Amino acid sequence: MRDYYAQRAQEYELVYHKPHRQPALRRIEAWLREVFADRCVLEIASGTGWWVPHAAAQARAWWATDLNPETLAVAQAKALPACVRFAQVDAYTLQGLPQARFDACFAGCWWSHVPLQRLDAWLATVHAALPAGSRVVMLDNAYVEGDSTPVTRHDDHGNGYQRRQLRDGSEHEVLKNFPSQAEVIARLGPRAEAVVWHDLGHYWAVDYRLR
Ligand SMILES: C[S@@+](CC[C@H](N)C(=O)[O-])C[C@H]1O[C@@H](n2cnc3c(N)ncnc32)[C@H](O)[C@@H]1O
C-alpha cells in the first residue's frame, strides 16, 4: 500500500478529474468545509491533499498526516489555508503525532484500505487520540458497477483486492474494501454517538461524535 501510493503520487489526483464525479465532489467539499469550521483537525492518510483546501478552509487548525513523503510533497506544493500543517505519521500507530488539542478527525479514502482484521485496532488508536466531543468523518468510495475497478479476489479475512495499473505500465494488487452502511456503523464502537450515514453517489461518509 505504502509503495503503491508513493509511486502513484504524481498521477493520484487524476481520479478526481473524472467528469461524472464533479457534482458529488463539489457537494462533499462544501460539506467538509462546514463540518470542520473552527475545529482542530487530525487528518489521517491525507495523501496529495485533495480535500485539504476545502475541508480546512474554515478550520482553526488542520494537521494533514500521511506515511509517504512523496504524497505529502504534492500536498505541500499547493496553496493552502494558513491553518494547515503537515506531519509524516503512520495511521496505525499515530506515533509522532504533533502535540495539538484535536477536536476532530478526518480520513478520506483510507478506511477501504485498512485490512478488516486491523480495522478495530486502527479505530481504537484513532479514538484514543481524540477527546470526548470530537467530530469524526470517514469518507470513502462506494462501489459503482461499471465504474469502479472490479474486485478480482477476496482473501480468507474477506478483504477485496483490485488490480491496478500506473502510467508507467506497472501492475499492482491493492486491498480495497467496499463495506455496507451496517458494516461501517457496527465497527465504530461504544464511543460513537450521533452517527449519521451519508450516501454520496460514488462516495459514502460516516459522521459521528465521540462520547
Ligand atoms: C487512497 S489514498 C487517500 C488520500 C487522500 N486521503 C484522499 O482521500 O484522496 C491513501 C493514502 O494512504 C497513505 N498511506 C498508506 N499507508 C499508510 C499508513 N500506514 N499510514 C498513513 N498513510 C498511509 C498513502 O500514502 C496514500 O496517500
- pLDDT at position 195: 98
| CA 31 to ligand 1 centroid distance, Å | 21
How far apart CA 191 and CA 208 sit, in angstroms, is: 10
Dist CA 16 CA 74 (whole Å): 15
Q: Does residue 190 register a pLDDT over 90?
A: yes
How much is the average pLDDT of 194-200?
97
Instruction: Give the chain's domains with CATH numbers.
Output: 2-145+178-210 (3.40.50.150)
Query: pLDDT tens digits, residue range 153-182?
Result: 999 999 999 999 999 999 999 999 999 999
* Complete DSSP assignment for 100-123: ----EEEEES-GGGS-HHHHHHHH
Could you give the percent of the chain with pLDDT greater than 70?
A: 100
pLDDT for 126 beyond 90: yes
pLDDT of residue 69: 97
Span from the CA of 23 to the centroid of ligand 1 (angstroms): 24
- Express each pLDDT in 25-57 by its tens digit: 999 999 999 999 999 999 999 999 999 999 999
Average pLDDT (141-159) is 96
DSSP 24-51: HHHHHHHHHHHHTTT-EEEEES-TT-SS
Tell me the average pLDDT across 54-82.
Answer: 97
CA angle 16, 67, 154 (to 5 degrees): 70
Average pLDDT, integer, range 72-77: 97
Question: pLDDT value at position 205?
Answer: 98
Cα-to-centroid distance, 47 and ligand 1 (Å): 5
Our answer on whether the CB atom of 109 is closer than 6 Å to any ligand 1 atom is yes
pLDDT at 100: 87
Count of CA atoms in the C-beta half-sphere (13 A) of 136: 28
Q: Which residues contact 102 (CB under 8 A, 6 or more apart)?
A: 40, 41, 42, 63, 129, 130, 131, 134
